[in-house]
Amino acid sequence: MKIGIITLPTRTNYGGILQAFALSRVLKDLGHSPEVIYLPVVWNVRWYKYPLTIIKRVIKRYIFHEKNIIFIERKLNREYPIVSKNTWNFIERYIPFRIVHKYESIKENEYDAFVVGSDQIWRPQYVTGPIENVYLAFAKDWNIKRVVYSASFGTDKWEYSKEQTCLCKQLLKQFNGVSCREKNGVEMCKEKFDCTAEHVLDPTLLLEKDIYSNFFDCNNSLHYDEILYYILDWTDNKRKLLDYIIKKTGCKSFAVNSNYEDPTARVEDRIQPRVEQWLQGFYDAKYVITDSFHACVFSIIFNKPFWVVLNENRGTSRISSLLSIFDLSNRIVSDIDSIKDVDSPINWDNVNAKWCKYKASSLDFIKRYLN
């Protein structure tokens, strides 16, 4: 079948890129012809908010002397092709995709089925345009298969308005199969949409680690026996944790991401490294410390001891749900005192056995609804 994948538009987020790669790879291996549908990423402020937004930024900068850029959207749009050039290269080489400026431009007979997912595709603040688009509102009258795979609300708080909830609930009734990445997502579907969803793995966990290691030279380790830190939102506490683990282990540390998250940084410092380099960082590392969901995923895939600090800004339930599957909830740390032993072992035989079991049931979900 020709399958359109509806997912978040990303050119710089490693987890977002790799989950799109993994899902398209799985569908291709099952004999389908997948195509990821991307919307262009554009930063803007709604016209009716623009005057007040600019005034607030001027006040913060010139009265309170805060570090900000008044016309930040212009800078971000101008620099985006530059900072994403390495990651975009991976997308062009390994992910079948098309770019549409709006979902309504997709014609009825272009696809036999749509798969919505994965990642935080059901979180309104991350979706370009109305949230109902990722419930296939643009295709509500079409005779096609509709499947949700490993969708995430991104949080344990309900962020939909009453109107959005009602509309998405009706649209979801048209789907052949629905699955969520987090356990609380399954519960939300039942409570808010009266929909029975299955609990499945993130697409990145459906592929064997050899598929990822084929992207780099395993014999050319750049950071063997070092600590990889992949921190999306730095805090003083996270810096103290990193320093503590460095001191206790005696290892050097390295990062695999740029200063991309800081829009005020120089464009040269915001260019994201290659996806292949990001992946090899996890393969090479002796330890990993992070606040990222997909950093936890690839630590598990490559069997690397890791610690994770829950990230309140980006949603904590995603990581808690993932780690509970593998009996790894004890890898969550909040401060130095919560690390009792930096060398505390992980039972990788147990983790890998659970991975194999959940991978089989997750692949079975895809086969049931798309074959």
pLDDT reported for residue 42: 84
pLDDT reported for residue 30: 97
In Å, what is the CA distance from 30 to each residue of 3, 116, 367? Answer: 12, 17, 8
What are the pLDDT digits (tens) for 151-166? 999 998 999 999 999 9
Residues 316-327 have a mean pLDDT of: 95
The CATH architecture one would assign to domain 214-353 is 3-Layer(aba) Sandwich (3.40)
Taking CA 202 as the corner, what is the angle to CA 368 and CA 284, rounded to the nearest 5 degrees?
Answer: 135
Percentage of the chain with pLDDT > 70?
Answer: 100
Residues 116-120 have a mean pLDDT of: 93
Residues 310-330 have a mean pLDDT of: 91
Residues 101-118 have a mean pLDDT of: 95
Q: What pTM value is reported for the model?
A: 0.94
pLDDT reported for residue 134: 97
Residues 231-245 have a mean pLDDT of: 93
Interacting residues of 62 by C-beta distance below 8 A, sequence separation 6+: none
Is 180 strand, coil or helix? strand
pLDDT reported for residue 218: 78
Task: Tell me if the bond preceding 118 is cis, omega within 30° of 0.
Answer: yes
In the predicted structure, residue 110 carries a pLDDT above the cut 80: yes
In the predicted structure, residue 313 carries a pLDDT above the cut 80: no
The one-character DSSP state at 155 is: S
Interacting residues of 167 by C-beta distance below 8 A, sequence separation 6+: 132, 135, 137
Domain 2-43+77-207+357-370 has CATH 2.60.40.1180: no
Enumerate the domain spans of the chain: 2-43+77-207+357-370, 214-353
Half-sphere exposure of 110 (CA within 13 A, CB side): 16
pLDDT reported for residue 36: 98
pLDDT reported for residue 339: 87
* pLDDT level of residue 358 (50, 70, 90 thresholds): very high
Q: How far apart, in whole angstroms, are the C-alpha atoms of residue 151 and residue 130?
A: 17
Half-sphere exposure of 64 (CA within 13 A, CB side): 9
In Å, what is the CA distance from 337 to each residue of 163, 243, 313? Answer: 45, 13, 23
Instruction: Confirm whether 2-43+77-207+357-370 and 214-353 share one CATH topology.
Output: yes
pLDDT reported for residue 10: 82
CB 227 within 8 A of CB 287: yes
Q: Which amino acid is at 264?
A: T
pLDDT reported for residue 366: 98
pLDDT reported for residue 221: 80
More confident residue, 337 or 167: 167
pLDDT reported for residue 312: 80
pLDDT reported for residue 114: 98
Q: How far apart, in whole angstroms, are the C-alpha atoms of residue 240 and residue 253?
A: 14
CB 359 within 8 A of CB 204: no
Q: Which element (helix H / strand E) includes 37?
A: strand 33-38
